[in-house]
Structure 1
Amino acid sequence: MRYQELPPPSYLKSHVRYFWTLESNGVVHEPKILGPMADGCPGLIIQQSADGIFYQENKELPDLLLYGQTTRYTELHVTGSICSIGVICYPHALKSIFGLNADELTNSCMDLDILAVTKDFYLAERLSNAPSLTGKIDIISTFLFNQINKNSASADEITHFALSQIIESGGSIALKDLQQQLQLTERSFERRFKQGVGISPKLFSRICRFQNSLKQLKSNNYSKLSDIAFEHDYADQSHYIRAFKEFAGFSPYQYQKKSTKAEAGTNFLLMPK
């Protein structure tokens, strides 16, 4: 398997964090498990292999897949040859790119090809005719840029500001103070945030803390696991382990063992079934 991450073109940098590609070296005879973890970001997965198929809970997934916030560990099963392109977007992208209320796709996905704008752009046909991954990424980038320009939904500056403050603090900002700063009631703040991001400010903050702790765990920049817990404002090590299991599917120790035996991307593990 070959996994790589690529930066977006400059005109997408406020909407897309990065592209990723995953290719198998020939036919994959044994099914694989793609284990995405909660990362606070929606995105796209585009499968380009003629015989490669994604499944989730025994349900075949579309080749052009748009997904929302993932709040828990999930598994995608992959069979056949793999030639996939992923787009990891920023938390506000379902609203800012596609004009969708983000909470409609939380822990869910949809076939991107059913959107009228996709059909007008002939995205599937263009991708199937592109000879290289680079060419396909260029097509996807153009599609996203066109969609941004066509999107009539105005940016919610309040939600964008709240997002920036939560991310900058690593999920440790006092949400009550942020709400008062924005001069919103708790109910209005949560409603607007859910529509723009897909989940509540509290849950998004928890995912930010988990992701920051994951970066530290990957870098081995700690002496004891409790060091990571306290540096990221967990009450103690046991609280940290519970949160890690919720978002990653297994404990920090199990994650480290799996990541040494599997191909690891930024927010998923690719493991033999």
Structure 2
Amino acid sequence: MNFHICQPGDALRPFVKAFYYWEDASCGPIQLPPHLFTLGDQYMVFMAEGEATIQPAAHAAFTLPQHAVTGHFTCACHLQVKGPVKMVVVQLNAYGCYRLLGMDSASFTNYYRNLDLHENPVWAQLGASLRQLQEPAAITTVLNGTYHQVLQANAPCLKQADEMVDYLLARHGNIRMEELAQTFQLSRRTLERLFNQVIGMPPQLFVRMVRFRNALLALQQTNTTVQSTAYYNQAMFIQDHLLFNGEMPSWYNMPATIAHMPAATMQQVAVAS
């Protein structure tokens, strides 16, 4: 297996978190590298070889096209990858997709959009270019160039949603909606409309995801209890664990996931971190 994590250029960092290059010559179902999909982020996936199928809870399964952007995964889901596989994955932050593609993210939460059908042909051209490359260093150069080009072009305004997201992350999700609306001098209805359009989900759900991620981090790294995190009681934590992971917590010696690969035993492939 050949797996690389590459850092984007400084100009991209407000919107792009990381580039991943994954190549595996194994045939049939194979396990994804850990930390590849994270709760609360969006991803652009460029498949040069192989097949990826996603089964969100309570949704129909779908197979990603060759070039795709995934919406937020807001519920437990299963990922199955068939090899041989060669793919490039670009991890965006919560508002990166809207800034780069101008898509109403709420329309494909727990789903995807085919980048070959996007009005901007640059994404299909990028996928074609990536298929010809082998070295991670060359892939990073091409990705940096394309994303920088897109950022320099006319792009949709983030409508203050980026500032709200960054504020929520700094507060670890510990904020009431009334306080958030007052801080940014917005009505509750306007706040929810902007979040749904730019981020792709209501602010209440995003806060819940942020709180869950931070609670997991605390539980995994220290000997703290659920009550010492942002959760008032264990029942609230279990409820969110079932929603985002699709299973009861196993107190608490494993990283939590938002996706599992169907196999003889369930394998972790997406981490809320």
Q: Please give the TM-score of this superposition, normalised by the length of structure 1.
A: 0.83
* Structure 1 residue 239 corresponds to structure 2 residue 236: yes
Q: How does 1:52-131 map to 2 (within 5 A)?
A: 52-57=50-55, 59-119=62-122, 122-131=125-134
Q: Deviations over 1:70-104 (max 9, x none)?
A: 11121221112122221111111122111122212
* Structure 2 residue aligned with 1:177: 179
The structure with the largest helix share of the pair is: 1
SS of residue in 2 equivalent to 1:173: coil
SS of residue in 2 equivalent to 1:222: coil
Q: Deviations over 1:201-244 (max 9, x none)?
A: 1100000011112222333x115xxx1x2233212112212211
* Count of equivalent residues: 259
* Structure 1 residue aligned with 2:197: 195
Distance (whole Å) between structure 2 residues aligned to residue 120 and residue 19 of structure 1: 15
Q: Deviations over 1:5-26 (max 9, x none)?
A: 33211121111112223332x3
SS of residue in 1 equivalent to 2:120: helix
Per the TM alignment, residue 176 of structure 1 is displaced from its structure 2 partner at its CA by: 0.6
Distance (whole Å) between structure 2 residues aligned to residue 96 and residue 117 of structure 1: 13
Per the TM alignment, residue 265 of structure 1 is displaced from its structure 2 partner at its CA by: 5.8
- Aligned-pair RMSD on alpha carbons? 2.8
Contact 2:53 2:79 in 1 (8 A): yes
SS of residue in 2 equivalent to 1:62: coil
Distance (whole Å) between structure 2 residues aligned to residue 255 and residue 151 of structure 1: 47
Q: How does 1:230-269 map to 2 (within 5 A)?
A: 230-253=227-250, 256=253, 262=267, 266-267=271-272
Q: How does 1:217-232 map to 2 (within 5 A)?
A: 217-219=219-221, 221-223=222-224, 227=225, 229-232=226-229
Distance (whole Å) between structure 2 residues aligned to residue 77 and residue 255 of structure 1: 25
**Counterpart amino acid of 1:83?**
K
Per the TM alignment, residue 127 of structure 1 is displaced from its structure 2 partner at its CA by: 1.3
* Structure 2 residue aligned with 1:9: 9
Per the TM alignment, residue 2 of structure 1 is displaced from its structure 2 partner at its CA by: 5.1
Contact 1:37 1:248 in 2 (8 A): no
Q: Which runs of 5+ in 1 are unaligned?
A: 269-273
Q: 1:63 to 1:265 in 2, by over 3 A?
A: same
The structure with the largest strand share of the pair is: 2
Q: Which runs of 5+ in 2 are unaligned?
A: 56-60, 257-264
* Structure 1 residue 150 corresponds to structure 2 residue 153: yes
Identical counterparts, % of pairs: 20
Which has the higher mean CA deviation after the structures are superposed, 230-239 or 68-77? 230-239
Q: Deviations over 1:251-273 (max 9, x none)?
A: 331884688984656449xxxxx
Distance (whole Å) between structure 1 residues aligned to residue 105 and residue 123 of structure 2: 23
Q: 2:142 aligns with which of 139, 142, 158?
A: 139
* Structure 2 residue aligned with 1:164: 166
Distance (whole Å) between structure 2 residues aligned to residue 67 and residue 139 of structure 1: 21
Contact 2:37 2:269 in 1 (8 A): no
SS of residue in 1 equivalent to 2:139: helix
Contact 2:46 2:67 in 1 (8 A): yes
Contact 1:45 1:85 in 2 (8 A): yes
Q: 1:111 to 1:34 in 2, by over 3 A?
A: farther
Contact 1:117 1:147 in 2 (8 A): no
Distance (whole Å) between structure 2 residues aligned to residue 258 and residue 120 of structure 1: 33
* Structure 1 residue aligned with 2:262: none
Q: 1:120 to 1:169 in 2, by over 3 A?
A: closer
Contact 1:38 1:207 in 2 (8 A): no
Q: Please give the TM-score of this superposition, normalised by the length of structure 2.
A: 0.83
* Structure 1 residue aligned with 2:26: 27
**Counterpart amino acid of 1:82?**
V
